[in-house]
């Protein structure tokens, strides 16, 4: 479903050159859940953002469902419809109600009728357990509720792939569970997912593979059982010692 | 909070009243010094006045009969030379003729009175509509320029920067002269069009900067969320960025518009009869210099404070989603 070949992303600025993603190749099969972990600044977010073209990468290829997203013949907006993204800081639209947050892109991008979009939105809000807040503005919701709305908003586009960038890092501890539960349910339903997270429990329980990143490189790619019990890389070992 | 604060506050309110009274007395004394005679009673006629139009006999002839009809009277007359009768309507209290009287052509029979709009009202209207027209055009110029200013295209960005810097770096009065005498002459523009054009370009530049700042104040995450849902750049602007930016730029934009109303007084230099020019013209005939300038100032204050109130109301309405 996702194929990455020799991906390279360089940030230049203030005389510094940062190879944020340095020659990464990997793939995610249909229905697979891949968790990306690694220390802060290791390039996890940048890697994820290259997958839907939010970052323009410098070299390499990203192929989503058979479509090369960097090809000049590709309509990037059409690709992004198929790739949902959930951000660390939710990024809900504050001037729209919860319901409007979930219906807007359906109407604008998918050109669905108002009634159809609303039905879809209500079904998804019910699924993430927040239907009763449909007419509230996001500022009236807790972090966990906002993140669940953000997931519903992404799902409303019927994506083939979902990308999560530290979806629980900005949440108070008591709200982490409610968001992870929604994500686990999605995984059970067969959604293809790439998840950057520090929630090792989630990785162990849901992921088929764990990618460990450091200084822009994927240093280890292993099933969670293997990765958490016997990491091969010294840096992965050091990292796990710190977080576990 | 309550008792302590209040007892500590009232001497200051008292002081405020004393200072204001002092200022008023000082002003009054100052005008006494220069022997200025206040003639406030002359001011109202410049807002609206009762115009008298003389009604005259259309021919030499005889009054057949005066038909009184309340405030008005119909005067029926017949020409000496023969022919059809005429009926003339005048105000009863100004009637100068009686039944059977002989009148010559063009002799006054009486008058009719009409309310007429005075020069102050006309000037006020010109100021209001010139300000609104240039405010509206300026807003569109500002929106387009603001978007060009943050565009990725160097040509658009360069043009926007050049325009903004040119306008912000030169005085409005000079811009009005250039627009009127140079562009106005070349394109053969009417003075009002030239005035509105100069003002529009002027507010456009400031509005562009306000809009640019407003757009850039919207967090990047908003754009990224919209783009990740598959929205195009334009759709993201229209549905996500501009509505949020608009709410933030409303106060500075309104401030700019209020400034524009005051700045519009400068178009009086190219002989557009706005509120300021009307004031100057009235003074040459009324000699009520102080009264007219105070009245003109009050009228500007009236428009600007009405707008401030309107803005306050708008801001409260937009605060819904906070
Ligand atoms: N917009 C940017 N401009 C310059 N450098 C950036 C930018 N975004 C990220 N970086 C740099 O790229 C590296 C990887 O960042 P990021 O992908 O955010 O790491 P992570 O998500 O793993 O914490 C860091 O060194 C960071 O400073
Ligand atoms: Mg990150």
CB contact under 8 A, A92 and B225: yes
Could you tell me the fold of the domain covering B50-116? OB fold (Dihydrolipoamide Acetyltransferase, E2P) (2.40.50)
CA nearest B232 in A: which residue? A77
Q: What pLDDT shows up at residue A154?
A: 97
Closest ligand to C-alpha of residue A17 is 1
Q: Which residues does chain A have within 8 Å of residue B249's beta carbon, measured at their own beta carbons?
A: none
Portions of chain B given CATH number 2.40.50.100: 50-116
CA nearest B322 in A: which residue? A139
Closest CA to B249 of B303, B311, B200, B309: B311
Q: Which DSSP string corresponds to A158-208? A: --SEEEEESTTTTS-HHHHHHHHHHHHHHHHTT-EEEEE-S-HHHHHHH-S
Mean pLDDT of B56-70: 87
What is the ipTM, given to two decimal places? 0.93
Instruction: Say if ligand 1 is within 6 A of residue A216 CB.
Output: no
d(CA A141, CA B165): 44
Instruction: Say if ligand 1 is within 6 A of residue A192 CB.
Output: no
Instruction: Say if ligand 1 is within 6 A of residue A168 CB.
Output: no
Q: With 60 as the cut, is the pLDDT of residue A18 above it?
A: yes
What pTM was computed for the model? 0.81
Q: What pLDDT shows up at residue B321?
A: 60
A135 with A116: CB under 8 angstroms?
Answer: no
Find how far residue B143's CA is from the centre of its chain. Answer: 24
Q: Please report which confidence band the pLDDT of residue B122 belongs to, taking 50, 70 and 90 as the band edges.
A: very high
Q: Please report which confidence band the pLDDT of residue B4 belongs to, taking 50, 70 and 90 as the band edges.
A: low
Portions of chain B given CATH number 1.10.3720.10: 119-321
Q: What residues contact B319, with CB distance under 8 A and at least 6 apart?
A: none
Q: What pLDDT shows up at residue B5?
A: 62
Closest ligand to C-alpha of residue A213 is 1
Q: With 70 as the cut, is the pLDDT of residue B160 above it?
A: yes
- For a mutational test of ligand 1's pocket, the pick from A21, A41, A167, i.e. the residue with the most ligand atoms closer than 8 A to its C-beta, is A41
A63 with A69: CB under 8 angstroms?
Answer: yes
Closest CA to A31 of A186, A226, A199: A186
Of B225, B321, B322, the CB nearest to A91: B225
Phi then psi for A168, rounded to 5 degrees? -115, 5
Q: What pLDDT shows up at residue B97?
A: 84
Report pLDDT digits (tens) over B197-238.
999 999 999 999 999 999 999 999 999 999 999 999 999 999
Q: Please report which confidence band the pLDDT of residue B70 belongs to, taking 50, 70 and 90 as the band edges.
A: confident
CATH, domain range B119-321: 1.10.3720.10
Give distance in angstroms: CA of A133 to centre of ligand 1.
35
- For a mutational test of ligand 1's pocket, the pick from A7, A10, A11, A13, i.e. the residue with the most ligand atoms closer than 8 A to its C-beta, is A11
Of B221, B231, B321, the CB nearest to A91: B221
Closest CA to A80 of A38, A109, A103, A123: A109
For A144-175, letters b (16+ CB in 10 Å) and e give: bbbbbbbbbbbbbbebbbbbbbbbbeebeeeb
Percent of chain A at pLDDT > 90 equals 93
CB contact under 8 A, B322 and A139: yes
d(CA B263, CA A147): 49
């Amino acid at each position: 479903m996702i194929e990455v070949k020799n991906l390279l992303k360089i940030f230049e600025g203030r005389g510094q050159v940062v190879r944020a993603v340095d020659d990464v190749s990997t793939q995610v099969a249909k229905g697979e859940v891949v968790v990306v972990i690694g220390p802060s600044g290791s390039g996890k977010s940048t890697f994820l953002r290259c997958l839907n073209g939010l970052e323009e990468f410098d070299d390499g290829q990203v192929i989503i469902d058979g479509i090369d997203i960097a090809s000049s013949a590709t309509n990037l907006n059409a690709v992004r419809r198929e790739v949902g993204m959930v951000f660390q800081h939710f990024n809900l639209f504050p001037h729209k109600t919860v319901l409007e947050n979930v219906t807007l892109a359906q109407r604008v991008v998918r050109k669905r009728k108002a009634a159809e979009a609303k039905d879809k939105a209500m079904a998804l809000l019910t699924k993430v357990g927040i239907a009763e807040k449909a007419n509230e503005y996001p500022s009236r919701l807790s972090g966990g509720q906002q993140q669940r709305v953000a997931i519903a908003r992404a799902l409303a586009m019927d994506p083939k792939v979902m990308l999560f960038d530290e979806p629980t890092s900005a949440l108070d501890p008591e709200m982490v569970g409610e968001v992870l539960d929604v994500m686990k349910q999605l995984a059970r339903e067969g959604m293809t997912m790439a998840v950057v997270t520090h929630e090792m429990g989630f990785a162990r329980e849901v992921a088929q593979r764990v990618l460990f990143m450091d200084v822009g490189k994927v240093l280890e790619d292993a099933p969670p059982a293997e990765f958490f019990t016997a990491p091969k890389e010294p840096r992965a070992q050091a990292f796990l010692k710190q977080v576990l | 909070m309550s008792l302590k604060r209040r007892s500590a506050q009232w001497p200051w309110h008292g002081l405020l009243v004393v200072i204001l009274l002092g200022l008023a007395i000082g002003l009054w004394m100052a005008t006494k010094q220069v022997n200025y005679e206040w003639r406030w009673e002359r001011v109202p006629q410049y807002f609206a006045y009762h115009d008298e139009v003389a009604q005259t006999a259309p021919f030499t002839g005889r009054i057949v009969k005066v038909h009184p009809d309340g405030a008005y009277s119909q005067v029926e007359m017949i020409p000496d030379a023969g022919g059809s009768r005429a009926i003339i309507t005048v105000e009863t209290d100004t009637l100068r003729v009686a039944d059977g009287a002989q009148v010559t052509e063009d002799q006054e029979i009486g008058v009719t009175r009409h309310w007429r709009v005075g020069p102050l009202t006309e000037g006020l209207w010109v100021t209001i509509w010139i300000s609104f027209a240039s405010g509206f055009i300026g807003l569109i110029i500002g929106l387009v320029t603001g978007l060009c200013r943050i565009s990725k295209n160097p040509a658009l960005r360069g043009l926007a920067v050049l325009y903004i810097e040119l306008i912000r770096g030169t005085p409005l009065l000079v811009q009005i002269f250039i627009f009127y005498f140079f562009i106005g002459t070349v394109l053969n523009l009417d003075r009002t069009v030239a005035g509105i054009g100069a003002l529009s370009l002027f507010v456009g530049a400031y509005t562009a900067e306000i809009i640019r700042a407003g757009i850039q104040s919207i967090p990047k995450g908003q754009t990224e969320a919209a783009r990740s849902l598959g929205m195009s750049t334009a759709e993201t602007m229209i549905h996500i960025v501009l509505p949020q930016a608009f709410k933030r730029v409303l106060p500075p934009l309104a401030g700019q518009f209020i400034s524009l109303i005051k700045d519009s007084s400068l178009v009086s230099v190219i002989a557009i009869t706005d509120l300021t020019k009307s004031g100057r013209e009235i003074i040459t005939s009324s000699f009520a210099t102080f009264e007219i300038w105070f009245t003109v100032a009050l009228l500007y204050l009236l428009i600007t404070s009405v707008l401030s109130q309107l803005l306050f109301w708008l801001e409260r309405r937009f605060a819904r989603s906070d």
